[in-house]
Structure 1
């Protein structure tokens, strides 16, 4: 999981062929998980391409992240310079 993404790169992955989202600075590829998600595909599609940390922690605990992070995490969000 050494690849770094900008939020602009993550935002490009909002289609049925490629769904990325961010949780606490880590980038997750949920493309192949979307149909397994207990809450349904609709919610993952709604937050894809975005930072979904707030929505994730509202409905999940740390155990969920520990369980799925090894198979879904693909990198981190690159710190962007603020001018």
Structure 2
């Protein structure tokens, strides 16, 4: 399922009860179920939930990581430029 989100909509998804969404390069990912799998722990994902995490993501990951998890976690895209 691919859906279009606004940055404001993504910002409401910042905890487990509402789902934890992040933006990476204008794509939206639901990381709610990935929290316990994240190699560096849940703390990092909780800090960026509801936000554009592109800069932080690319500081620590390469394109292979995004390709590996994209199909499973990507739920849509941002319909307007993120300003979070």
TM-score normalised according to structure 2 size: 0.91
1:68 and 1:2 mapped to 2: Cα distance?
15
1: CA distance, partners of 2:58 / 2:22:
14
- Asked which structure has the greater CA Rg, the reply is 1
Q: Which runs of 5+ in 1 are unaligned?
A: none
Paired residue total: 80
Q: For residues 10 and 77 of structure 1, what CA distance do their matches in structure 2 show?
A: 9
State TM-score, norm by structure 1: 0.92
Gaps of 5+ in 2: none
Q: Tell me the residue number matched to 1:32.
A: 33
